[in-house]
């Protein structure tokens, strides 16, 4: 498996990865020292947090769920709906600097945080080693570079499905093989968006804004095609009506560990997700989100519905469970434990 491609100005080094790892789990990057990247991206949950929507430093609910960071280095777009965030370096700045709602909330105290890091001998030494050519190694740009370098090492590629792709016919059960055939069939058409090794059309190098964001009929407020006003997807950036409700296709790697599902955590289980797609969209009978999602005029036409008998559903679930890389999860459970600095 080839590693993710580094940007020219941020080649991966061992020291940079170690620095990024420490920063990822360290509350020093938050306003009061109590919150870290790992609060929303827990290795046990394949670097998600188990919440419907993520939570910021002060307990504020964020607009969307925390996406998994597994294989993030292979993606072309970051976050659920922002087509402008096309590098891990640029994305790393968002939780640190965003104010509404605040996540780590250090935008007004960057100098204070950099001083905090400078006062830590281990951090200071790691910065100096990782960025030895910089006159001032400890700054917000290098924090983002180090975090991105660590995130590019979060590669989940040893699931049973990977071993099957690599030629081990015994890696998938008969049920999971049947589920794989269903998943990629013209009947279900899941593979139209969940494509390639990483099971997402938002992966490099072929991803594009027009091909990587989709409306799957999760909402249809008032029969108008609208999504909730504070979570409308790609249209918030493009202004194009046809982009209403479009969100980036998530990778399905480790999907059995990353409940709840969808950009807003509105589907609690994989069974609920299958039900939604089988119906061609989600129907909400009453309340503020009432509407028939299958009739959303902006919905991707491939979300047309299907039927499954109980055996086929079990097979599809077996395939989805075969995407779990247990070795990836266990390997990173100790990442938050400090280790001796490496050169």
Per-residue pLDDT tens digits for 10-51:
999 999 999 999 999 999 999 999 999 999 999 999 999 999
Percent of all residues in the chain with a pLDDT value above 70, rounded to a whole number:
98
Looking at the predicted structure, is the pLDDT value of residue 1 above 90?
no
Give the integer Cα–Cα distance in Å for 310 and 324. 22
Where do the domains of the chain lie, and which CATH numbers do they carry?
14-155+328-332 (1.10.760.10), 189-305 (1.10.760.10)
Per-residue pLDDT tens digits for 292-324:
999 999 999 999 999 999 999 999 999 999 999
Does the bond joining 205 to the residue before it have cis omega, within 30 degrees of 0?
yes
Tokens 């990442």 appear where? 335
Give the integer Cα–Cα distance in Å for 86 and 78. 6
Q: Where are the alpha helices (DSSP H) in the chain?
A: 14-24, 88-97, 110-118, 121-130, 140-151, 160-165, 174-183, 209-212, 235-238, 270-278, 310-321, 326-332
Give the integer Cα–Cα distance in Å for 5 and 189. 30
Tokens 């709602």 appear where? 101
């Amino acid at each position: 498996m080839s590693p993710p491609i580094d940007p020219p100005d941020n080649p991966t080094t061992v020291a940079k990865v170690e620095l990024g790892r420490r920063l990822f789990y360290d509350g020093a990057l938050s306003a009061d020292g109590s919150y870290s990247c790992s609060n929303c991206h827990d290795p046990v949950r394949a670097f998600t947090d188990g919440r419907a929507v993520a939570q910021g430093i002060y307990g504020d609910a964020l607009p969307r769920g925390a996406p998994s960071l597994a294989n993030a280095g292979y993606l072309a777009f970051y976050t659920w709906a922002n087509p402008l965030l096309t590098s891990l370096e640029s994305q790393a700045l968002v939780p640190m600097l965003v104010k509404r709602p605040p996540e780590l909330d250090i935008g007004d105290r960057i100098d204070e945080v950099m001083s905090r890091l400078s006062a830590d001998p281990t951090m200071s030494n790691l910065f100096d080693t990782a960025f030895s050519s910089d006159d001032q190694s400890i700054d917000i740009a290098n924090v983002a570079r180090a975090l991105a370098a660590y995130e590019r090492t979060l590669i989940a590629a040893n699931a049973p499905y990977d071993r099957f792709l690599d030629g081990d016919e015994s890696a998938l059960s008969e049920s999971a093989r049947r589920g794989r055939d269903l998943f990629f069939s013209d009947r279900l058409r899941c593979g139209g968006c969940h494509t390639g090794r990483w099971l997402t059309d938002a992966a490099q190098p072929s991803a594009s804004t027009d091909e990587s964001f989709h409306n799957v009929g999760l909402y249809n407020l008032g029969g108008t095609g609208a999504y909730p006003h504070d979570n409308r997807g790609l249209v918030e950036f493009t202004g194009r009506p046809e982009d209403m409700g479009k969100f980036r296709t998530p990778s399905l790697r480790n999907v059995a560990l990353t409940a709840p599902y969808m950009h807003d955590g509105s589907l609690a289980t994989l069974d609920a997700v299958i039900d939604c797609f089988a119906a061609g969209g989600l129907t909400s009978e009453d309340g503020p989100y009432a509407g028939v999602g299958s009739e959303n005029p902006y919905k991707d036409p491939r979300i047309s519905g299907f039927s499954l008998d109980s055996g086929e559903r079990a097979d599809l679930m077996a395939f989805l469970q075969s995407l779990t890389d247990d070795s990836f999860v266990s390997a990173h459970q100790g990442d938050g434990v400090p280790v001796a600095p490496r050169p």
